[in-house]
């Protein structure tokens, strides 16, 4: 019998191959399988990272010429790249982006002919901020109303004819006022005009607005130094005994009125001067007068006329019940800023007259006054001294007093 045949022995597979066969099969299977979006994105990441150096394509290199030999690096930038400021050059140096012959450099380093300066890419300038457009929160009627008040306009100033009943500025329980309408008077300027003086709510007439900061400063100085001239028209109760007079009575706030009412106060009041001229009289019943304030106290004209016994018609605050005329004469206040003259910032003067409101004009007609007599020649008068003039007088007075005291001390010495 033949012994049973043994199965042929197969060569042993290499250890590494036997262990790696399943992994290789898995790798082939994974390669054949479709990739998910997440895996595809992950696979692209190395490509994105590899693209980063492309940003450096705008790096510039400059060779130092003989004319620049020995100068500082920041000076070289000022000569050849003036659009790049020192702050940017310093930032490039701190971050290692600024190099000379491959080595880091600082703005104070000296450079030599033949060296190569590496300049980082120019930074894109941020776009300028969008110009703010002022939103005029006014209705078409309010804009038309404000613009109808304008009686003079130039690049530096606007003069309006303020109607009676419109406050100049807002305050407690005052929501409608001229200040709230100034956006309607911008016209071609960049900003709204500015108030530089005021008129009482019930006083009508010419009021100056500044259209530039320079004009506002000049106008404010003109009013404080009393070089601006204002002429008012008023109808007063009765007729002053003197046709042309000067009222010099100090004015102060009346206690207990919260500062809303003024009165004549010989002890605590501030100096106040008003010139009046009678234009025409209606018998002994009323007079049409011109008023020129030479100081600018609150309610000055109203207080002064009431103090001499001739309150302004319609001014119940200072004239009480005696400030009203019976018949067809309006009960509104009859005080109007007829004319204003003030130095113009560009030279010359602004000299403007404001037409009367309807109730004032009607009262003149009802009382038989002739409107053609109204504009008297402007008499300059003697204005109140300015603050600077008062200071100079005080210094001169103090100097004189010291001089007299020195003379007294000498006279007391040994004879």
Active site residues: 200
Distance between CA 273 and CA 251 in Å, rounded? Answer: 10
The DSSP line for 317-352 is HHHGGGG--STT--SS--EEEEEEEEE-TTSSEEEE
Sign of CA dihedral 286, 288, 292, 295: positive
Q: Do residues 270 and 330 touch, judged by C-beta distance below 8 A?
A: no
Q: Give the orientation angle of helix 73-80 with respect to helix 86-94, to 10 degrees.
A: 130
β-pair partners for 350: 342
CA 369 to chain centre: 44
Distance between CA 231 and CA 279 in Å, rounded? Answer: 13
> CA angle 226-227-233, nearest 5°?
75
Distance between CA 84 and CA 122 in Å, rounded? Answer: 8
* C-alpha distances in Å from residue 339, one per residue of 353, 354, 382: 4, 6, 18
User: Which contacts qualify for 242-248: CB closer than 8 Å, 24 or more apart?
Assistant: 243/277, 243/278, 244/275, 244/276, 244/277, 244/278, 245/275, 245/276, 246/273, 246/274, 246/275, 246/276, 247/272, 247/273, 247/274, 247/275, 247/276, 247/304, 247/305, 247/307, 247/308, 248/272, 248/273
The DSSP line for 153-201 is E-SSEEEEEEPTT-BSS-BTTB--BGGGGGGGG-TTSSS--EE-S---T
């Amino acid at each position: 019998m033949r012994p049973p045949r043994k199965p042929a022995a197969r060569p042993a597979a290499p250890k590494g191959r036997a262990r790696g066969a399943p992994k290789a099969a898995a790798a082939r299977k994974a390669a054949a399988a479709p990739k998910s979006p997440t895996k595809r994105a992950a696979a692209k990441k190395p490509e994105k990272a590899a693209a980063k150096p492309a940003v450096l394509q705008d790096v510039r290199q400059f060779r130092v010429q003989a004319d620049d030999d020995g100068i500082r690096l920041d000076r070289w930038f000022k000569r050849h790249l003036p659009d790049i400021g020192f702050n940017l050059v310093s930032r490039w140096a701190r971050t290692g982006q600024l190099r000379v012959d491959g080595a880091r450099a600082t703005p104070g380093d000296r450079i030599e002919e033949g060296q190569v300066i590496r300049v980082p890419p120019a930074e894109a300038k941020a776009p300028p901020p969008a110009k703010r457009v002022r939103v005029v929160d006014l209705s078409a009627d309010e804009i038309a109303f404000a613009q109808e008040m304008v009686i003079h306009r130039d690049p530096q100033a606007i003069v309006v004819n303020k109607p009676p009943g419109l406050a100049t500025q807002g305050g407690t329980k005052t929501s409608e006022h001229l200040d709230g309408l100034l956006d309607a008077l911008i016209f071609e300027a960049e900003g709204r005009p500015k108030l530089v003086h005021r008129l009482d709510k019930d006083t009508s007439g010419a009021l100056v607005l500044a259209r530039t900061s320079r004009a506002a400063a000049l106008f404010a100085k003109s009013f404080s130094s009393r070089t601006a001239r204002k002429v008012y028209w008023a109808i007063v109760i009765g007729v002053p005994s003197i046709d042309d007079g000067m009222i010099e009575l100090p004015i102060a706030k009346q206690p207990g009125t919260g500062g809303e009412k003024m009165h004549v106060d010989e002890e605590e009041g501030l100096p106040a001067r008003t010139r009046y001229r009678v234009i025409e009289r209606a018998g002994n019943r009323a007079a049409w007068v011109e008023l020129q304030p030479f100081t600018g106290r609150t309610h000055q004209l109203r207080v002064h006329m009431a103090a001499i016994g001739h309150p302004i018609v319609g001014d119940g605050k200072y004239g009480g019940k005696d400030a009203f005329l019976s018949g067809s004469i309006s009960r509104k206040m009859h005080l109007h800023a007829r004319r204003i003259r003030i130095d113009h910032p560009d030279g010359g003067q602004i000299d403007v007259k404001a037409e009367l409101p309807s109730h004032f004009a009607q009262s003149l007609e009802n009382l038989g006054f002739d409107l053609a007599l109204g504009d008297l020649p402007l008499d300059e008068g003697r204005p109140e001294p300015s603050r600077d003039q008062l200071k100079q007088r005080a210094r001169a007075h103090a100097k004189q007093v010291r001089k007299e005291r020195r003379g007294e001390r000498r006279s007391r010495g040994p004879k």
